Copies of this chain bind each other. A is one copy, B any other.
Amino acid sequence: MIRIGILGYGNLGRGVECALQKSSDMNLVAVFTRRDPASLKLLTAGVPVVGIQNVLDWKDKIDVMILCGGSATDLPMQTPEFAKHFNVIDSFDTHAKIPSHFAAVDSAAKAGNKVAIISVGWDPGLFSLSRVYADSILPNGETYTFWGKGVSQGHSDAVRRIRGVKNAKQYTIPIESALEAVRSGKAPKLSTREKHLREVFVVLEAGANAAEVEREIKTMPNYFADYDTVVHFIDEDEFVKNHSGMAHGGFVIRSGKTGLQDEFSNVIEYSLKLDSNPAFTASVLVAYVRAAVKFEQASSFGCKTVLDVPPAYLSCKSDADLRKELL
């Protein structure tokens, strides 16, 4: 049994806890938190909650630590720090900062003879895999990534910061006609506006000016100005009833040509439809635990990403069984 620690007990940490219950080869050993341990109520009976200051006492009791903090401030500090002492998995998802995060984690993990797998999830993660496979196999082509329909936390936050907004949720929606054009193999040039639509549900503060809020949303640079945005004003009840979910998903599509004169079209499409973004991301993190253990057994220390992991490393089946049953 692989002994697992969870650091951070928000939506993702709870998702990992649930995913571990589906994994017959892993055991949750402890949950670590910066909060008062007594304030956490776990879903799993009998698992201790430990203050983060005592984490080094658990060095020999945990095979892999799953880091469930956020990419903005938690992981850039935590992953290099913990990779000195534990094999770790994180879901660092700030694409532009992956090279520097990788470098920091790699030197920490190598110093400690540990394995770290970073940026695990679905984008970065499974979508990255799809991009690399498709790009390598069809060098003469174009790759498109579409996100949604799903909630963008960053865009929802941006709307909530507008004066007069009490609550808000923003959905990113891929535009069906763009998807169809890409799937047809035409390799269209698509502007930002042509790929995704933004839909916002807003609960206003009493007395707020709806027209002014709508104008502020639609003209917000970076977040909305380059998109067509639909704004709906709803009341708190409807907000809670219909907009509390965390569904997400998306598409990676590559179209490319083969044949001597590029006479053959090919379309490779990978898609996800997820009722709960954090629960699914957690399931990906848990599968990569097995890879961390296999790298450690091979004394292959340092930082890795999903691009470095042989697919067989994710499975609890033996290589021979995989060849027989799934190849």
Is A140 an interface residue, CB under 8 A from the partner? yes
A267 part of interface (Cβ distance < 8 Å): yes
A22 interface residue per 8 A CB criterion = yes
Q: How many residues of chain A are within 8 Å of chain B by beta carbon?
A: 70
This chain: copies in complex: 2
Known: A274-B264, A283-B258. A327 touches B138 (CB 8 A): no
- Identify the stretch in A124-132, A159-167, A196-204, A212-220 within 8 Å (CB) of chain B at 4 or more residues: A124-132
Known A19-B258, A265-B275, A273-B267: A124·B327 in contact at CB below 8 Å: yes
Q: Mark A314-327, 1 if CB is under 8 A from B, else 0.
A: 11100110111011
Indicate if the CB atoms of A132 and B273 lie closer than 8 Å. Answer: no
Interface residues in A1-53 (C-beta closer than 8 Å to B): 15, 18-19, 21-23, 43
Cβ–Cβ < 8 Å partners of A156 in chain B: none
Determine whether the beta carbon of A259 is less than 8 Å from that of B287: no
Taking the nearest CB of chain B, how far is it from the CB of A282, in angstroms?
A: 8
Tell me which of B18, B128, B319 contacts A258 (CB under 8 A).
B18
Interface residues of A (CB under 8 A from B): 15, 18-19, 21-23, 43, 95, 98-99, 102, 119, 124, 126, 128-133, 135-140, 183, 185, 258-260, 263-276, 279-280, 282-284, 287, 290, 305-312, 314-316, 319-320, 322-324, 326-327
